[in-house]
A and B are shown apart, each in its own frame.
Chain A
Amino acid sequence: MWNRRKEEEPIPKATPKPASVPPTVSQPVKEGIPMSTQPTRPLDTRPEPARGGVAILGKSVILKGQVYGREDVTIDGEVEGTVELQEHRLTVGPTGKVVATIKAREIVVLGTVQGNIETREKIEIRKDAKVVGDIRTARIVIEDGAFFKGSIDIIRAEAPKPAAVPAKPQPVAAAGSSSPAAAASAGDNKR
């Protein structure tokens, strides 16, 4: 109510210019053609960042070969080959039938999958889904009524290794030193 957005602010009425102001030299009207005198930049070849969309292979789609993607994918049709969505989620819909080796961040199966599956995060095998193959995953969810035949390997997240602590430079006691610290140090080393 109080935080009116800028777009809603009333457009100020054009105030008439004071008559005392001398007319300026008329500027040539510039055409609104977007041009740049800068040398053209080469095309950006970096991979396009994920936009969070979902690609859907519809019920009537039959695909044989390799599916590789940088966005989430839902398969409602049939896919045979390999599916690789390393950083994204694959959903095999209730009508989906996948005969493939699958690698994805996360997989949700409501239909049929035959092939080995590797997920970095999680696989969910929902009720009435059918999965035949070996699974490697960090987490697995199997609903009652799902059919699964195969092996399950849980990938344990490796504990972060402690950063290597640089060895403190040990004071080297000079031969014949009589300082108490050096004497204590020498004593410790003997234990």
Chain B
Amino acid sequence: MAILDFAGASQATVSFVTNYGHRLYSDDFVRQLDRVFGSAPAGANDTEFFENQTNPALVSDFFELALNFDDGSFDGALVWDSLQFLSSPLLQTVVAKLHRMLRPGANLMALFHTDERIENIPTYAYRIHDKRTIQMVSRSQRKPAQIFNNRNLEKLFQDFQSVKFFLTRDRLREVIVRR
């Protein structure tokens, strides 16, 4: 199987996925966001970061850099918490592209923060150590584009076959959608 991982390459995840005999495609999605739309650490210039996401030229660059895949390229996608930093309409465009990149029956996993009160949310590098353990290495604090509730998420993934929600620790909502 071909698995897409947006957390950035880590030894743990590479070993976990490849030990099953799967092919792993690795990229650091948030880093690519920063590269194209300008870095947006907590409280610093985040308005420009989100405004840049409406610039068609930059959006085109971003797709070229981070999502340049043929349709039906993957059997699974580990998107982690990266979708929270996309503002509309880029978010919908990216999710539509992910839908096309996945093969029918493929699964996508994403995480969303649930706490609506906090302005900046912690971001992590996620590493899969084994079937039961995901290591979350703290990276920075960032302002999310929006906080998603179940209704938002169902609407966001409406083109997918099914959407499942799981509440996890650390105020995270795990979402598994099936293409």
Contact = CB atoms under 8 A, between A and B. Distances in A.
A151 B27 CA distance: 9
Interface stretch (A16-24, A27-35, A152-160, A176-184): A152-160
B21 A142 contact: no
B27 to A, nearest CB: 5
A56 B140 CA distance: 39
A153 B18 CA distance: 7
Contacts of A148: 8-9, 26
B8 A147 contact: yes
B10 interface: yes
A26 B101 CA distance: 95
Contacts, number: 42
A150 interface: yes
Given A140-B14, A141-B11, A146-B9, A152 B28 contact: no
A154 to B, nearest CB: 4
Interface residues on B, range: 10 to 19
Interface in A122-166: 125, 140-144, 146-154, 156
Q: Closest 8 A-B residue pairs measured CB to CB?
A: A148-B9, A154-B18, A151-B25, A149-B27, A152-B24, A142-B11, A142-B9, A153-B23
Interface of B: 2, 8-11, 14, 18, 21, 23-28, 31
25 contacts: A125-B9, A141-B11, A142-B9, A142-B10, A142-B11, A142-B14, A143-B11, A144-B10, A147-B8, A147-B31, A148-B8, A148-B9, A148-B26, A149-B9, A149-B26, A149-B27, A149-B28, A150-B27, A151-B2, A151-B25, A151-B26, A152-B14, A152-B23, A152-B26, A153-B23
